[in-house]
Amino acid sequence: MFKMKKRSYRVFEGLRVATLVSYIGGFIDAYTYNTQDGRFASIQTGNLLYLVIHLVDGHIARAFSYSIPIFFFILGQFFVFFAKKWLINHKWGWHLQAIRLAFLLMIVLAIITPYVDSTITIAGLAFFASLQVGIFKRVRGVNYASFMMTGNITNTSLTVARAIDEHDSKVLKQASYTTIIIFTFMVGVATSTWFSHYLHEYSLYTTLLPLFILNYFLYIEAKEKRN
């Protein structure tokens, strides 16, 4: 009988996880842009840009609305730092517990979003985005971002250039990982935009399936480790 090749990376660094995460990233930012007054859950450069533009134009209330996702994204990073430290110190699996929390948060947001002010939704999704950024950072040893694509595009370009210079197919394979991530992010944006035309704010429910699958992948790995 043939034995399966043992992975040199954890499940949360797998390509299938990275594609799901980047799909969710694209979906969420397109969702907030299309349904939450042109704001972004994770692209704080865009939020900061619009904040300053509206501030200079004298639209104070509009400018303030862009500070909300920025603040809650920052708050999410504080939470990630201290929650990760606490969970690791108490021998809990950080990635599994964090994705469980993200899944629970998304369920709550999907239910309440059609009935609450957009301030609550954008705050919750910015916190969710910050949490996801803190959970998933690498794919098969290669750094990537599940929301902001500037770094992925930069890394892909430089990795391809390095592969050409060194004639190294392994390096080129690394570039393929981030290329796939960029593509699935775009699929997430397209899907979110399409759903928002028909389901509007209810389209947030569709993120629950990929989040459930992520939870399943990490749960199976944790179960295998216990056995």
- Per DSSP, the residues of 84-123 read HHHHHHTT--HHHHHHHHHHHHHHHHHHHGGGS-HHHHHH
What is the residue type of 196?
A: S
39 CB burial (10 A radius; 0-12, 13-18, 19+) = buried
Q: What's the pLDDT tens digit per position in 163-179?
A: 889 888 888 888 888 88
In angstroms, the CA 22 to CA 13 distance is 13
What is the residue type of 11?
A: V
Mean pLDDT of the chain: 88
The structure's pTM equals 0.89
- Of 39-53, 112-126, 211-225, least confident by mean pLDDT is 211-225
Q: What domains sit in the chain, N to C, each tagged with a CATH number?
A: 12-220 (1.20.1250)
State the sign of the Cα–Cα–Cα–Cα dihedral 217, 222, 225, 227: negative
Q: What's the pLDDT tens digit per position in 54-99?
A: 999 999 999 999 999 999 999 999 999 999 999 989 888 888 899 9
* Dihedral angle computed from the Cα positions of residues 123, 129, 131 and 133, in that order, rounded to the nearest 10 degrees: -150
In the chain, what is the straight-line distance between the N-terminal and C-terminal CA atoms, in Å?
Answer: 22
> Which stretch of DSSP H or E encloses residue 1?
none
